[in-house]
Chain A
Amino acid sequence: MSILTGADIADELLTKSTVTLPLIAMASVLALLFSIPLGMYAALRFRRWDGIATSAVSQLGIAVPTFWVGVILITIFSVGFQVLPAGGFPDEGWSSWASCVKSLALPAITLALAQGAMLMRFARSATIDVIQQDYFRTARATGLTRGQALRIHGVRNALVPVVSVLGMQISTLIVGAIIVESVFALPGIGQMLLQDVSIRDYTKVQGTVAVTTASVFLVSFLIDVALNTLNPKLRQRQ
């Protein structure tokens, strides 16, 4: 129970999570979708200019503060082209799902860019690792092209470090969600937390932080399980 409003904290967390969870999910999917192919591309061409340019972009992406990306995207898509809303979330919630997706589009892209840049670096170094392995050379020797060899033998091996990084990044993803929610004025868990901090609603802050941290633990555990199924080597070791 909140000491200030008397509202049930669990209830409120549930309502707010209908904004935060889809945001995190959309961002993760987007980040994976662009970071893995781009990272592999940068790895395959790591001595050519386009490979170097791709990894330079990811280097830049890591250095850019999330909230600045948000502000720039608002400037381009909301102020400039006026195609997507600059912030806010429909009051009626997911019953009007189209406008919900629309208002989560820019926030999710913002979050995905920040996360994806990091994932891309790991995808790149993991792929470079794979390319230099003996089994990859053997696969090439049997007549497969680089792309084919990568698809059949490389992806699974390169994914292992990427997935484990994804697990470690869950905590940054949640922090990112707090920031992004505040940039785009989304009524999610992050914004609620910031408001509670400013009005010093300690019990609510405690509850929110406890639930968030617990979910970080839970997700990293699930990722560990996923890693085990992805990597037979780990399974045997135990």
Chain B
Amino acid sequence: MTRNRTLNIGLGLVAFSPFMALLSLVWTPYDPLEINPDVSLAKPSLSHLLGTDVLGRDVLSNIIVGSRTTLLTAFLAVLICMVVGVIAGIGTAVSPRWMETPAIFGIDIILALPTVLFAIVLAAVYGPSTFTAVVAIGIALSAAVAQVTRREVNVILSTDYVVAAHASGSSTGRIVRRHILPNIRASLFVQASGASAIAILAESTLSYLGLGTTPPAPSWGRMLAASQQYLIIDPIVALWPGLVIVITVLGFNLVGDGLREALDPTLRKSAS
């Protein structure tokens, strides 16, 4: 597993944001909200490593502090989608048939509803905030998790050892705890890292559209939206927030791919 290059590169990229988030707790080059009209839209220099935005706020400080928003959103959204998704996935797989069909139908409906569209609707009703964004992303992603989990659980349910456990009198709860959960754990990690990538992209998109994190909290997506108005004067300001989003999302995607490779020996031999 340590030789897995995809996983290592991914972990390296992912580690970047927690590092910045921790750093932001103890040190930032400037106060991220400090306005200084004298240095409005300054080019990158020694005093402002990544330059400043239109209000003269230090871009680097905002990116460092913005990592907190991104990580928090990703963490909470993934928590929601994994908990809801896994419970729904296992639940629909072990439940009696008459309950299964409507449940699958419900999952299919959520799957068809695009994540961001769902978040827009929630934002319309409850007002834009990081919280509505997180809940929307979490619920929307949970449908996919539920579907994959259900499929895996169904495979495990038909194995001999589950049938044997059933015959020897194990309750459904015990079978889930002893046989199903340990067997799907690996795939859950893969799904969680994939979901993190989608959650981060969705959060930054919502913030960009003005439906996510509200000012003054720094957010990578909103920084981009703000910088777009000054593209003609200073295109470089738009570069940095995009770059950190790409690094983080790419990292999570690679971790997912790497984990899948590490956990599934058949993949290692053939393609990727």
Binding site for B on A (CB under 8 A): 46, 59-60, 62-68, 71-72, 74-75, 79, 86, 125, 128, 132, 171-172, 174-175, 178-179, 182-183, 193-194, 196-198, 200, 202, 205, 209, 212-213, 216-217, 220
Check A72 against B254 for contact (C-beta < 8 Å).
no
- The interface residues of chain A lying within 8 Å CB-to-CB of B241 are 68
Q: Residue among A64, A65, A125, A212 with the most chain B CB within 10 A?
A: A65
Q: Which residue of B lies closest to A206 (CB)?
A: B121
CA distance A120 to B208 in the complex (A): 26
- The interface residues of chain A lying within 8 Å CB-to-CB of B228 are 71, 74, 183
- The interface residues of chain B lying within 8 Å CB-to-CB of A179 are 116, 205, 208-209
B117, B121, B245, B249: the one within 8 Å of A175 (CB): B117
Q: Which residue of A lies closest to B206 (CB)?
A: A179
- Count of interface residues, chain B, beta-carbon cutoff 8 Å: 38
Knowing A128-B271, A178-B117 touch, does A220 contact B246 (C-beta < 8 A)?
A: no
B112, B114, B210, B231: the one within 8 Å of A75 (CB): B231
Q: Which residue of A lies closest to B243 (CB)?
A: A68
- The interface residues of chain A lying within 8 Å CB-to-CB of B80 are none
Check A193 against B114 for contact (C-beta < 8 Å).
no
A109 to chain B, nearest CB (A): 17
10 contacts between A and B (CB under 8 A): A65-B204, A65-B208, A65-B249, A66-B205, A68-B224, A71-B238, A75-B231, A178-B116, A179-B205, A179-B209
Q: Which residue of A lies closest to B119 (CB)?
A: A175
CA distance A116 to B269 in the complex (A): 27
Kindly supply a per-residue 1/0 record for chain B positions 111-134, scoring 1 wherever the CB is within 8 Å of any chain A CB and 0 otherwise. Answer: 011111100110111000000000
Knowing A64-B246, A179-B205, A197-B211 touch, does A59 contact B117 (C-beta < 8 A)?
A: no
- The interface residues of chain B lying within 8 Å CB-to-CB of A183 are 228
A120 to chain B, nearest CB (A): 14
A130 to chain B, nearest CB (A): 12
Binding site for A on B (CB under 8 A): 112-117, 120-121, 123-125, 197, 201, 204-205, 208-211, 221, 224-225, 227-228, 231-232, 235, 238, 241-242, 245-246, 249-250, 253-254, 270-271
Majority DSSP secondary structure for residues of A touching B: helix
B140 to chain A, nearest CB (A): 10
Beyond contacts A71-B231, A175-B115, A179-B205: 10 other A-B pairs, Cβ-Cβ < 8 A, are A63-B245, A64-B245, A65-B242, A65-B249, A128-B271, A174-B114, A178-B117, A194-B210, A194-B211, A197-B120
Knowing A65-B204, A179-B116, A197-B123 touch, does A75 contact B238 (C-beta < 8 A)?
A: yes
B202 to chain A, nearest CB (A): 9
B41 to chain A, nearest CB (A): 14
Knowing A132-B270, A179-B208 touch, does A67 contact B112 (C-beta < 8 A)?
A: no
Check A59 against B224 for contact (C-beta < 8 Å).
no
Check A79 against B231 for contact (C-beta < 8 Å).
yes
Check B113 against A67 for contact (C-beta < 8 Å).
no
Q: Residue among B221, B235, B253 with the most chain A CB within 10 A?
A: B235
